[in-house]
Amino acid sequence: MKSSIQKKKNLTSKLHEESILSVQKVGEVVSKPVEFKTNGDLNSFEEYKKIYHKAKKNPNKFWGEIANKLYWKKPWTNVLKWKPPFAKWFIDGKTNLSYNCLDVHLATSRRNKAAIIFENEIGGTRTLTYSQLHTEVCKFANVLLLLGIKKNDTVGIYMGMVPEAVIAMLACARIGVIHNVVFGGFSAEALKERMIDSNAKLIVTTDGTYRKGELVNLRKTVDKATKELVEIQSIIVLNRNSLKIKLDKNREYDWDDLMKNVNEKNEAKWLDSEHPLFVLYTSGSTGKPKGIFHTLGGYMTWVYYTCKNVFDLSDNDIYWCTADIGWITGHSYVTYGPLLNGATIFMYEGALNYPSADRIWDIIERNKINILYTAPTAIRSFMRLGDENPNKHNLSSLRLLGTVGEPINPEAWLWYFNVIGKKRCPIVDTWWQTETGGIMISSLPGATPMKPGSASLPLPGIQADVVRRDGSSCKPDEGGLLVIKSPWSSMLRNIWGDKERYKKTYFGDFKDWYFTGDGARKDKDGYFWIMGRVDDVVNVSGHRLGTAEVESALVSHKSVAESAVIAKPDEIKGNSLVAFVTLKVGTKATTELKEILKNHVSSEIGSIAKPDEIRFTDSLPKTRSGKIMRRLLREIATNGHIIGDTTTLEDYSSLEKLRDDED
Smallest separation (angstroms) from ligand WT7 to the CB of 332: 8
Q: How far apart are CA 206 and CA 165, in angstroms?
A: 10
- Binding residues for ligand WT7, rule CB under 6 A, total 22
Residue nearer to ligand WT7 on the CB measure, 434 or 654: 434
The 529-568 contact track toward ligand WT7, x by CB under 6 A, reads -x-xx-----------------------------------
Stretch that binds ligand WT7, among 24-32, 214-222, 456-464, 526-534 (CB under 6 A): 526-534
Contacting residue, 59, 276, 407, 452, with ligand WT7 by CB under 6 A:
407
Kindly state the DSSP code that residue 160 receives in the 8-state scheme.
-
Pick from 381, 625, 648, 654 the residue near ligand WT7 by CB under 6 A.
Answer: 625
**H or E segment and range at residue 654:** helix 652-662
Minimum CB distance to ligand WT7 smaller for 328 or for 401: 328
Among 235, 236, 404, 629, binds ligand WT7 (CB under 6 A): 404
Nearer to ligand WT7, 289 or 342 (CB): 289
Q: Does 322 bind ligand WT7 (CB under 6 A)?
A: no
Nearer to ligand WT7, 234 or 625 (CB): 625
| By CB under 6 A, residue 329 contacts ligand WT7 | yes
Check residue 299 for interaction with ligand WT7 (CB under 6 A): no
Q: Is 429 in the site for ligand WT7 (CB under 6 A)?
A: yes
**What residues contact 411, with CB distance under 8 A and at least 6 apart?**
383, 552, 555, 556
As measured in angstroms, the least distance from the Cβ of 405 to ligand WT7 is 5
Per CB under 6 A, the segment of 181-189, 217-225, 400-408, 560-568 that binds ligand WT7 is 400-408
In the complex with ligand WT7, the residue whose CB is nearer, 226 or 625, is 625
Question: Which segment (112-120, 528-536, 584-592, 603-611) binds ligand WT7 by CB under 6 A?
Answer: 528-536
> Mutual orientation of helices 59-67 and 296-310 as an angle, nearest 10°?
90
Three-state DSSP class for 95? strand
Give the integer Cα–Cα distance in Å for 292 and 449. Answer: 33
Contact 156, 195 (CB under 8 A): yes
Instruction: Kindly state the smallest distance separating residue 519's Cβ from ligand WT7, in Å.
Output: 9
Using CB atoms within 10 A of its CB, is residue 93 exposed (0-12), middle (13-18) or buried (19+)?
buried
Output 281 or 361, the one with its CB closest to ligand WT7.
281
Q: Are strands 464-467 and 427-429 parallel, antiparallel or unpaired?
A: unpaired
Residue 83 three-state SS: strand
Binding to ligand WT7 (CB under 6 A) within 99-138 occurs at none
Tell me the C-alpha distance between 490 and 439, whole Å: 9
Q: Which range in 12-20, 102-110, 253-261, 424-432 contacts ligand WT7 by CB under 6 A?
A: 424-432
Decide: is 253 part of the binding site for ligand WT7 (CB under 6 A): no
Q: For 342-373, b where at least 16 C-beta lie within 10 A, e where not — what string?
A: bbbbbbbbbebbbeebbbbbebbbebebbbbb
Q: Is 282 in the site for ligand WT7 (CB under 6 A)?
A: yes
- The residues, ordered by sequence, that sit 6+ positions from 658 with a Cβ below 8 Å of its Cβ are 580, 615, 617, 621, 633, 636
Contacts of 641 (CB under 8 A, 6+ apart): 635, 659
Closest listed residue to residue 567, CA positions, set 516, 523, 612: 612
Maximal CA-CA distance, the chain? 73
Nearer Cβ to ligand WT7, position 492 or 597?
492
- Pick the piece of the chain touching ligand WT7 (CB under 6 A) from 39-47, 327-335, 467-475, 587-595: 327-335
Residues that bind ligand WT7 (CB under 6 A): 282, 327-329, 404-407, 429-434, 455, 516-518, 530, 532-533, 625
